[in-house]
Structure 1
């Protein structure tokens, strides 16, 4: 028995076409939900190593179908180690409260391409200095690279010196990153205007934005500069993931290393951050306080913190969630230094890494339009990551 890696995603059924199926015993996947709430939009990962393939059978020629309805599910193959060969297949089950459901993996001679949209998308953006941006059908984010940093250090206008995480406030399901950057190329600053899809009016500066990290020494928080290297792992209908590397940085005499593994799945308001770090046993993860007009909620015992604030004529909620035992404290850090006031969650570093989820909900998107609905989402998210779906293969 093993647990699925929790992540939110969408389930889209497509009728299975039997042509091409080989005559062999199928792999049966049983997924069990031990909670008294329905489970949907959580991604199950199946490794190539767990599938028994016959001679000349290809891992990329498998499909996943619901055993009860015979519907084919949307799948995404991921090459996790960038060697050109797929390592895992992703899909999203739906399971009722306190129940289990069976799916089967079927190997075909050939597989027709699924007609899907790559809602989960990310890329390096050299045309806008050197951002890295990512999105799904709910939210979008970006952060900043070395050229933007050097521009600031050389007093060249248009640069950004920040390892904070920017929020792009979209209110449509379809992808907007390329569209917004393209219109910004024609008319610089155009994506700061809402033309019906949303806009970028979230100020980051040197703040932590939505989930940037810091190291606290005494009463001071130390932060890294812009990322130095990037690698896109995957994009598709279910997940986008990538890696950002940072130059070593100093926290009052402590050398800190930082490598971010970030992923975002369909239907999820929170990105998953896996931070590989050395030089500290506690990593602080922050939510910017902006004008300090919002209300923070600190539920360390439940593994989440939230900040709900008025925002440019609307309202916005940000949040951080971590598994039980990871979040050990929180602090509403208020300072006169520009952009340095953040609501921090203090997370325990174990075996050189820390894992957390961070994201937002904008009232205009109508996803979680109130403080109560946003915090209910964070509370349920925490419940699910601490009680993952149980997945067994036979």
Structure 2
């Protein structure tokens, strides 16, 4: 009789012990005075493996320990064969902690919130979006045509759904079909936050990108590279590789540029935002490296807000006839990182210049106060 009871007890306890062995904990600490909302957070995959070496990448879930609900995640490769990071999207209050659990299980089907693609059917566009905003860069086929432009373009949205493919399929992205449109004019400027060498007090534009590569494509982060062939930048031969990431829930891209050029000293560069003829609201914060612009309302289409945040010292910021400009320097073959993006008042989230400038300041403070992560 005792033997039967022992077998019964083992049959009940051993599965629980096995479950406990495959459940690991991630602690995320927000020591800042900032609430984080819809924050895409990277957890080093090496740290996950060190605590959970037997993890099955096709059969695990991430659980919020408080709500007991699954958390959306992405395995980020960043162009490598091996996994680099586990990305999770979380909300976490100021001065608080969040505990996540990793365990075996079937992940729920979460809607993808980011997307990027090469668009050969539209003269080599490269377009990307998240659940807030969309952008595009211009490719080789558009060079020396009437519609050519140097900077980044903005496609405004008022839906959390992905819309790029539908807009290109309709071929009417300048008309608002209820989810937004493309009414942003770029022309021969840096548009919505592109960067270019600034040699002898002149912006030295490259040609359009000629090569592209997608490193990751959702559901929480899309990352890709655009390669710009060597050009003459005021007597300096320059080549550029631009790596752009857009996270779910963010109005701003992370842009990492790597310049190769034939001189030893640092090269001056500028980030620019095209300026409209009518009066808008401009904020130039050289100390924090933040440049913000709330455009004048554009007829019935509404108002677009633009912004950039430097992570290197801003030498100066100024407003020319055509653009808002922020100057910094780059070193040969050393990546420079900055952030650039946009919002639209008709999306209903950021509807005033103050709200937009507050968003940029909040984003900058988040960069300065990263979350602290530990895996056990």
Relative to the length of structure 2, the TM-score reads 0.87
| Cα displacement (A) at 1:281 | 3.2
| Cα displacement (A) at 1:92 | 2.0
| Cα displacement (A) at 1:120 | 0.3
Partner residue, 1:138: 132
| Cα displacement (A) at 1:241 | 1.0
Partner residue, 2:285: 299
Deviations, residues 243-281 of structure 1 (Å, cap 9, x unaligned): 110011222111122111101111111111011113353
Q: Secondary structure at the match of 1:105?
A: strand
User: Given the superposition, is the C-alpha separation of residues 28 and 347 from structure 1 closer, same or farther in structure 2, using an over 3 Å criterion?
Assistant: farther
| Cα displacement (A) at 1:25 | 5.3
Q: Does 1:343 align with 2:329?
A: no
User: Given the superposition, is the C-alpha separation of residues 225 and 293 from structure 1 closer, same or farther in structure 2, using an over 3 Å criterion?
Assistant: farther
Could you tell me how far apart the structure 2 residues matched to 1:72 and 1:380 are?
Answer: 27
Given that 1:148 and 1:161 are in contact with CA atoms closer than 8 Å, whether structure 2 keeps it comes out as: yes
Given that 2:290 and 2:309 are in contact with CA atoms closer than 8 Å, whether structure 1 keeps it comes out as: yes
Q: Secondary structure at the match of 1:168?
A: strand
| Cα displacement (A) at 1:361 | 1.4
The partner residue of 1:171 within 158, 162, 172 is 158
The partner residue of 2:35 within 34, 38, 44 is 38
Relative to the length of structure 1, the TM-score reads 0.84
The partner residue of 1:317 within 305, 315, 320 is 305
User: Given the superposition, is the C-alpha separation of residues 163 and 259 from structure 1 closer, same or farther in structure 2, using an over 3 Å criterion?
Assistant: farther
Given that 1:203 and 1:290 are in contact with CA atoms closer than 8 Å, whether structure 2 keeps it comes out as: no
Higher mean C-alpha deviation, range 68-77 or range 266-275: 68-77
Q: How does 1:67-146 map to 2 (within 5 A)?
A: 67-83=65-81, 85-106=82-103, 108=104, 111-146=105-140
The partner residue of 2:62 within 39, 59, 64 is 64
| Cα displacement (A) at 1:45 | 1.4
Partner residue, 2:169: 182
Q: Secondary structure at the match of 2:359?
A: helix
Given that 1:53 and 1:59 are in contact with CA atoms closer than 8 Å, whether structure 2 keeps it comes out as: no
User: Given the superposition, is the C-alpha separation of residues 160 and 258 from structure 1 closer, same or farther in structure 2, using an over 3 Å criterion?
Assistant: farther
Partner residue, 1:8: none
| Cα displacement (A) at 1:204 | 0.9
| Cα displacement (A) at 1:165 | 0.2
Deviations, residues 339-368 of structure 1 (Å, cap 9, x unaligned): xx2111123425611111111111222221
Given that 2:152 and 2:192 are in contact with CA atoms closer than 8 Å, whether structure 1 keeps it comes out as: yes
The partner residue of 1:272 within 225, 230, 254 is 254
User: Given the superposition, is the C-alpha separation of residues 43 and 226 from structure 1 closer, same or farther in structure 2, using an over 3 Å criterion?
Assistant: same
Partner residue, 2:235: 253
Q: Secondary structure at the match of 1:374?
A: helix
Gaps of 5+ in 2: 1-14
Given that 1:298 and 1:330 are in contact with CA atoms closer than 8 Å, whether structure 2 keeps it comes out as: yes
The number of residues matched between the two structures is 353
Given that 2:345 and 2:352 are in contact with CA atoms closer than 8 Å, whether structure 1 keeps it comes out as: yes
Gaps of 5+ in 1: 1-17, 185-189, 335-340
The partner residue of 1:288 within 249, 252, 274 is 274
Q: Secondary structure at the match of 2:63?
A: strand
Partner residue, 2:345: 363
Could you tell me how far apart the structure 2 residues matched to 1:310 and 1:345 are?
Answer: 21
Given that 1:60 and 1:77 are in contact with CA atoms closer than 8 Å, whether structure 2 keeps it comes out as: no
Q: Secondary structure at the match of 1:147?
A: helix
Runs of 4+ aligned structure 1 residues displaced above 6 Å come to none
Q: Secondary structure at the match of 1:250?
A: strand
Could you tell me how far apart the structure 1 residues matched to 2:62 and 2:270 are?
Answer: 40
| Cα displacement (A) at 1:57 | 4.0
Given that 1:26 and 1:105 are in contact with CA atoms closer than 8 Å, whether structure 2 keeps it comes out as: yes
Superposed CA RMSD in Å reads: 2.2
| Cα displacement (A) at 1:235 | 1.9
The partner residue of 1:387 within 362, 366, 369 is 369
Higher mean C-alpha deviation, range 121-130 or range 286-295: 286-295
